[in-house]
Amino acid sequence: MASIVRLFVDAPLGTGQGITLTDQAHYLANVMRLGAGDVIHVFNGRDGEWTARIAAAGRKRVELTVEAQNKPLQMPPDLWLIFAPIKKARTDFIVEKAAEMGAMRICPVQTDFTNSERIRQDRLQAHAIEAAEQCGGTYVPEVTNLQKLGKVLDDWPADRQLMFCDEALVGAGEFLTATTKGPWAILIGPEGGFSDKERKRLHALPYAHAVSLGPRILRADTAAVAALTVWQQHLGDW
Ligand code: SAH
């Protein structure tokens, strides 16, 4: 049997709730060929996952009735992934992987050597939603607008630790050894790495833990997945 379709819906979920879908109607009715009486799974990032039955299906509109909760909301650890956006496809990859790996918030930042000055926040948010749909997640990480790294550091919350992935430590064997639980963030630089000025500031921050990701320089997208893996294994929900 084909697996049950899982959709993110931007609507409150509760038994008996009716939902009208327009954007996803074509996918459900024409691509998946679902019709009245068929069941799908829906989640909204807040209320867990629910079973919903199709009440009526047309090309432009699908009406759902929410039945019962399947899974409670499972929050990821309080982890932000802060990264400098690179080429479009690689940035998309980073957002998708961060959602699958269990980041709570995804923050693109402009650094001294960031290649890309602009991002499409709405597109990246849509990638995070798609990733949550396919990985069984009940939470969708928020993708923030592009901000300057300096501003993010100026506004830093006092209790949040930072795993600073510093390519200058390549091969130095400086791994993540901190045992502090609670809010964390991972910082990954752009293809050009961090500037000396940025590196100096980052090393001086009391909440920053500078780490190496092994003896090879990784591309930023690889580094993001590697850092999320290391953090999740060491301090996260694995
Ligand atoms: N152009 C730079 C490399 C940048 S790699 C140079 O040649 O030095 C992009 C980002 O991935 C880096 O800023 C860092 O955050 C991360 N990264 C890649 N490899 C790493 C490693 N071995 N240790 C720590 N961070 C690494």
215 CA closest ligand 1 atom index: 22
Please answer whether residues 14 and 52 qualify as being in contact, where contact means their C-beta atoms are separated by less than 8 angstroms: no
Measured distance between the N- and C-terminal CA atoms of the chain, rounded to whole angstroms: 29
Which segments of the chain have a pLDDT < 70? 1-2
3-state secondary structure of 232: helix
pLDDT of residue 2: 64
CA 217 to ligand 1: nearest atom: 19
Q: Measured in angstroms, how far is the CA atom of residue 222 from the centroid of ligand 1?
A: 10
Structure tokens at 14: 């509760």
Helix, strand, coil % in the chain, rounded to nearest 5: 30, 25, 45
Read off φ and ψ for residue 44, nearest 5 degrees: -125, 10
Counting ligand 1 atoms within 8 A of each CB, the residue from 87, 165, 194, 202 with the most, and so the one to mutate, is 165
Question: So what's the pLDDT on residue 116?
Answer: 77
Eight-class DSSP state of 37: T
Which of helix, strand or coil describes residue 231? Answer: helix
Give Cβ neighbours of residue 128 (< 8 Å, ≥ 6 apart).
95, 96, 98, 99, 106, 140, 141, 142, 143
Question: Counting atoms of ligand 1 from 1, which one is nearest the CA of 211?
Answer: 24
d(CA 109, CA 84): 5
Strand pairing report for 184-188 and 161-165: parallel
Reading the block at residue 120, the tokens are 């499409």
Residue 66 has, within 13 A of its CA and on its CB side, a CA count of 23
Could you identify the atom of ligand 1 that is nearest to the CA of residue 194?
13
pTM comes to 0.96
Helix, strand or coil for residue 12? coil
Q: What is the pLDDT of residue 35?
A: 96
Q: How far is the CA of 148 from the centre of ligand 1 (A)?
A: 19
Q: Going from the N-terminus, what domains does the chain have, and what CATH number goes with each?
A: 6-71 (2.40.240.20), 79-235 (3.40.1280.10)
CA 147 to ligand 1 center in whole angstroms: 20
166, 218, 229, 230, best to mutate for ligand 1 pocket (most atoms within 8 Å of CB): 218
Displacement of CA 108 from its chain's centroid (Å): 11
Atom of ligand 1 nearest to the CA of 187: 15
Q: Which of 52, 67, 68 is nearest to 20 (CA)?
A: 52
- Is residue 125 a contact partner of residue 136, using CB atoms and an 8 Å limit? no
The Cα–Cα gap between 158 and 235 comes to 19
Residue 142 bridge partners (DSSP):
105
Q: What's the 93 CA to ligand 1 centre distance in angstroms?
A: 17
pLDDT at 115: 77
Give residues (CB < 6 A) around ligand 1. Answer: 165-167, 169-170, 188-189, 191-194, 212-214, 216-218, 220, 223
pLDDT at residue 3, as a whole number: 85
